[in-house]
Amino acid sequence: MSEIPPNLRLTTDSGRGPDAADVFAILVREHGERLLAFLRASVPSSSVDDIFQDTVLVAWRRLPDYDRTRPFGAWMRGIARNLVLDHRSKMGRERPTDDAILDAIVRRAEAEDRGDREEFRAKLVRLEDCVARLPDEYRTVIHLSYRLDAPIARIAAEVGANVEAVKKRLQRARAMVATCMESKGATT
């Protein structure tokens, strides 16, 4: 296997709600390649899939303990590192990668995470600028839909339009924002 399942789905429990599983699956897919690279450099290839799956399961169980102010990828690699060390102790003498290399891989991944955060923040600034440039009727529906998470029917009532008109405004607003982001060099 050694790849992230495109249809990664988790069942919800512990009152986290269905959205928690979707967000978690997205985060795992987003950070999974670096996690797999870390594991491939840390353990024999025959163990990569098992430790990857164990890492995802442990992370899912510990999701309520995750500190959202810290990078998700680093948190998952921390879990994986502990599982790798446990795996190594069970395997005895088989140590394909020494601790210095493992630490170097972790430092490199953390540096890339910082770069990703900076790139994300820059895209967010460009996105906010593009939304601010929208005509009022489009900016309003974007604000109500994405910032306030209002249902389409409520947005329609608030702006004095029918549901289909609001859907069309949202479609047009998203297209305008996408065009603006592309012109600023940031794909959406």
Cα–Cα distance for residue pair 130/186, rounded to 1 Å = 11
Cα–Cα distance for residue pair 57/89, rounded to 1 Å = 21
pLDDT at residue 14, as a whole number: 43
Kindly report, residue by residue over 83-136, the tens digit of the pLDDT: 988 888 787 655 555 566 666 666 777 777 767 667 767 887 888 899 999 999
Measured CA angle at 9 (ends 36, 47), to 5 deg = 30
Kindly report, residue by residue over 22-58, the tens digit of the pLDDT: 788 888 888 888 888 888 877 787 888 999 999 999 9
Kindly report, residue by residue over 80-95, the tens digit of the pLDDT: 988 988 888 787 655 5
Percent of the chain exceeding pLDDT 90 equals 29
* 69-73, 161-165, 173-177, range with greatest mean pLDDT: 161-165
Q: Could you tell me which residues come within 8 angstroms of residue 36 by beta carbon, excluding any fewer than 6 positions away?
A: 2, 3, 4, 48, 52
pLDDT at residue 100, as a whole number: 66
Q: Model's pTM, two decimal places?
A: 0.49
pLDDT at residue 1, as a whole number: 44
Domains of the chain with CATH codes? 1-116 (1.10.1740.10), 133-188 (1.10.10.10)
Provide the 3-class DSSP secondary structure of residue 90. helix
Measure the CA dihedral 72/78/79/83, to 10°.
Answer: 150
